[in-house]
Amino acid sequence: MQYDREGFVDAADGSRLFYEEIGDGDPSVVLTDGIGCDGFAWRYLAPRLAQHHRVVHWHFRGHGRSGPPVDCERLSIENLAGDLRRICDELGIERPVIAAHSMGVQVALEYHRQNPDGVGALILMCGTFGRITTTFHGTDLLDQVLPGLIRGTRMFPRVARAVWGRVPAATAFRVACAGRELDGERIQEEDFQRYWEHASLMDPDVFLRMLQHAGEHDAREFLPDVDVPTLVVAAEHDTFTPMALAEEMAMAIPNAELEVVEEASHAAPVEQPGRIAERIEDFLSTRLGLPRPPLSV
């Protein structure tokens, strides 16, 4: 899809942050990716939401069209939430509706912790409140192997760069569908290929450091302090962040709503964008007192 407007903002350490916009109307919806993504989750959802809202999508430092991090020590969830604040300040968005996917859920929750009076609503999709390396596929295996991967990447950066992303996108897509990591009947291979190619071009050290920080960040203790309208979207067959974590998060956040997307994977916003867009508009209408707009297909 094509966005109408775009620009750059400097992060606190000088890293260049890219953003793009489409549509008009209040409230503004700010789309926040998962790790390794530059818009994969929003390709079909963004234009639907932009029928009635100003939609802003931004890239994490080291992702997409944002520049590399000036300081690789500033890749924590706290720093990313600070980057999001720079974007909102630049665009004059005082109380964004933050729609987040995967690791972006942690960024959205941290943004609320840092700016408790500066959030309109939260839409948390296929993600959890933290410690993601201990819950990936329901085990802590990733947490155990990640330190070794990071050490190897730093010791042998050229080897890491050569090996990183060598699996062809078509092969990865077939494996993911066979293992039910994706819903092969609803997701297009070209959409997955776009995600895979972006991830394979990333600096592996940036990716792994960011993943490590996400594994250390935990918002569990301040979930009861989330006092804005919150919609938690869980996917029935999400193997990356098991649905039980979304249920736990929805129960811990006061008055949160839980929506379970049946027959969907971690890529639910790509697989079933129409259904999710309708649920979001219903949520915004009910909880923020907005007119319930019709959505075209």
pLDDT category of residue 202 using cuts at 50, 70 and 90? confident
pLDDT category of residue 204 using cuts at 50, 70 and 90? confident
pLDDT category of residue 164 using cuts at 50, 70 and 90? low
pLDDT (mean) for 157-178: 60
pLDDT (mean) for 151-165: 56
**71, containing H or E segment:** none
The residue ranges of every structural domain in the chain are 5-130+218-288
Q: Taking the alpha carbons of 133, 134, 136, 139 in that order, is the dihedral positive or negative?
A: positive
| Higher-scoring residue by pLDDT: 143, 212 | 212
| Higher-scoring residue by pLDDT: 190, 297 | 190
pTM of the model: 0.91
| Higher-scoring residue by pLDDT: 290, 6 | 6
Given this model, what pLDDT does residue 282 score? 95
Given this model, what pLDDT does residue 52 score? 92
| CATH topology assigned to domain 5-130+218-288 | Rossmann fold (3.40.50)
CA angle, 66 as apex, 197 and 217 as ends, to 5°? Answer: 85
Given this model, what pLDDT does residue 289 score? 85
| Higher-scoring residue by pLDDT: 183, 187 | 187
Average pLDDT taken over every residue of the chain = 87
- Whether the per-residue pLDDT at 7 is higher than 70: the answer is yes
| Higher-scoring residue by pLDDT: 180, 157 | 180
What tens digit of pLDDT does each residue of 114-143 get? 999 999 999 999 999 988 777 766 666 566
pLDDT (mean) for 277-297: 83
- Whether the per-residue pLDDT at 158 is higher than 60: the answer is no
Q: Is 180 exposed, middle or buried (0-12, 13-18, 19+ CB in 10 A)?
A: exposed
Judge contact between 201 and 59, C-beta under 8 A: no
pLDDT (mean) for 66-70: 96
pLDDT category of residue 190 using cuts at 50, 70 and 90? confident
| Higher-scoring residue by pLDDT: 136, 25 | 25
Given this model, what pLDDT does residue 291 score? 75
Task: Please report how the helices 141-155 and 204-216 are oriented relative to each other, as an axis angle in degrees rounded to 10.
Answer: 140
Given this model, what pLDDT does residue 195 score? 81
Given this model, what pLDDT does residue 159 score? 45
Judge contact between 239 and 265, C-beta under 8 A: yes
Given this model, what pLDDT does residue 187 score? 78
Given this model, what pLDDT does residue 80 score? 98
Q: Which of 93-97, 219-223, 293-297 has the lowest mean pLDDT?
A: 293-297
CA angle, 201 as apex, 197 and 202 as ends, to 5°? Answer: 120
Q: Which of 47-51, 91-95, 186-190 has the lowest mean pLDDT?
A: 186-190
What tens digit of pLDDT does each residue of 29-48 get? 999 999 999 999 999 999 99
